[in-house]
Structure 1
């Protein structure tokens, strides 16, 4: 089936998304500075059993840039629920990666009746110690200055940073890199910094609501060599949620891109079960 690029206005903001397939709704939410195109190796396979909606969060990817938009996790989760409203989606299976995984956990906590099952790829979570240094750095003046020059860095620098997310560097493609870098501009970076300013308060709220998230059947998928959101935090999260944890050997922070054939099959089995 052919993937279609579409857009819809949500709360006055134009949101870009990709749609493919027919069947029960499956919504896919990218990570920090990511985009709907991060899921290019997954959408077609998953669309055999579902109508897949991979959206660009506001201020990311090809969605509209809006200065001053609330970057908090709760507000972002509510915008995903509003996206569902705009398309007439009553409930859905929901997948998320990294920061997007935290957002969809918050979606499940705030709108549990809208979420059937969750699939979370290395989701940012309250137990992650590896995140602390990075979040702290980007909340300093030096870190914020550096973040603002990232869109102007040469492509080689972006390529090096992206490759660090993989164990098998042969899996890195120009298209995968572009799915992270093409949407980077000043507005998206400012929104990212807004997310990071609220990071720990948001994680505190999420931690307090994990019992509500636990009511939704959840599959966690992690690479055993993830140096962004460590798998040890995944073990603690799995225990807190009563979730199934699948750890893929010799894989980094982007398991759905580094081992799409494994992740696609696992998602299909979980969502059809």
Structure 2
């Protein structure tokens, strides 16, 4: 009986894993690579999408296991008034996956800053979503003269974290099943990240394909070099105009986390009704209006 149960588990795992690459290949069909540009930063190929030609530049930074397409619902809404630079962070999207250096949030911020410099962007606004908000905060701390405003979208900065992940075969298999399994990721996306009625199969498949390319080594590198505690110690030093946007129904980083963030940094909070952890997908028009209001009001209020 025990042998039967063991083999049942083994075959179940094999079955689950076997459909993943097929779904990833299916998702690749929905990815338009012609929309991407690439620059080499610190020896790494960094992918980004440039959208619009407005007078103000907004750099968009995605979250954990995300990529630049997380913001695509905003592209057409903002392209007339802003120039958008949506970055694939090192290890994610179409950017370099073979990362030898410590992949801290601060290092990723430095990579974004060097990309901006290479694109001849002297001043810009920055929006970071989820983990990307921590990258954005480091960018604002390290280069405040260039950052005109900082927008934090559903930030996890107040959540507890693990500083390390056991690096063994069991952990790798477990993480592989969690982060790369199609059925599990689809359920998480529909049930936790967005409102289910906004789920789009083609969009999810495209993102699943991109997430499927991220190796476990990147996830271990991130966990081993997490610098969130150091960021918390310095967050009060942020000097650029700061704004917080939050999905009212966010289950990953609940709204109470926004209150915690407000106690640490001087900022204004805007709550997006009927939106989850990805408000730019649930309520793109509301988020786009908020972004435009923030950027153009911050310009008019600058001395």
The TM-score normalised by the length of structure 2 is 0.80
C-alpha change, 1:78 and 1:67, in structure 2 (3 Å) is closer
C-alpha displacement at 1:231, in angstroms? 1.6
CA distance, structure 2, for counterparts of residue 94 and residue 15 of structure 1: 17
**SS of residue paired to 2:232:** helix
* 1:27 paired to 2:27: no
**SS of residue paired to 2:73:** coil
Question: Paired residue for 1:247?
Answer: 271
Greater shift, 52-61 or 224-233, is seen at: 224-233
CA distance, structure 2, for counterparts of residue 207 and residue 179 of structure 1: 34
Of the three residues 232, 242, 248, the one matched with 1:207 is 232
* 1:159 paired to 2:224: no
C-alpha change, 1:44 and 1:250, in structure 2 (3 Å) is closer
Paired positions, count: 261
Question: Paired residue for 2:198?
Answer: 171
**SS of residue paired to 2:274:** coil
C-alpha change, 1:91 and 1:270, in structure 2 (3 Å) is same
* Structure exhibiting the larger radius of gyration computed from Cα positions: 2
* 1:72 paired to 2:72: no
Question: Paired residue for 1:18?
Answer: 49
* 1:259 paired to 2:292: no
**SS of residue paired to 1:89:** coil
CA distance, structure 2, for counterparts of residue 54 and residue 210 of structure 1: 24
C-alpha change, 1:45 and 1:250, in structure 2 (3 Å) is closer
C-alpha displacement at 1:143, in angstroms? 4.6
RMSD: 2.1
CA distance, structure 2, for counterparts of residue 119 and residue 112 of structure 1: 14
* 1:102 paired to 2:134: yes
* 1:237 paired to 2:265: no
CA distance, structure 2, for counterparts of residue 43 and residue 192 of structure 1: 28
Structure 2: runs of 5 or more not aligned? 1-33, 298-303
Is residue 151–residue 186 contact of structure 1 (8 Å, CA) maintained in 2? Answer: no
CA distance, structure 2, for counterparts of residue 187 and residue 19 of structure 1: 22
Is residue 59–residue 84 contact of structure 2 (8 Å, CA) maintained in 1? Answer: yes
**SS of residue paired to 2:151:** strand
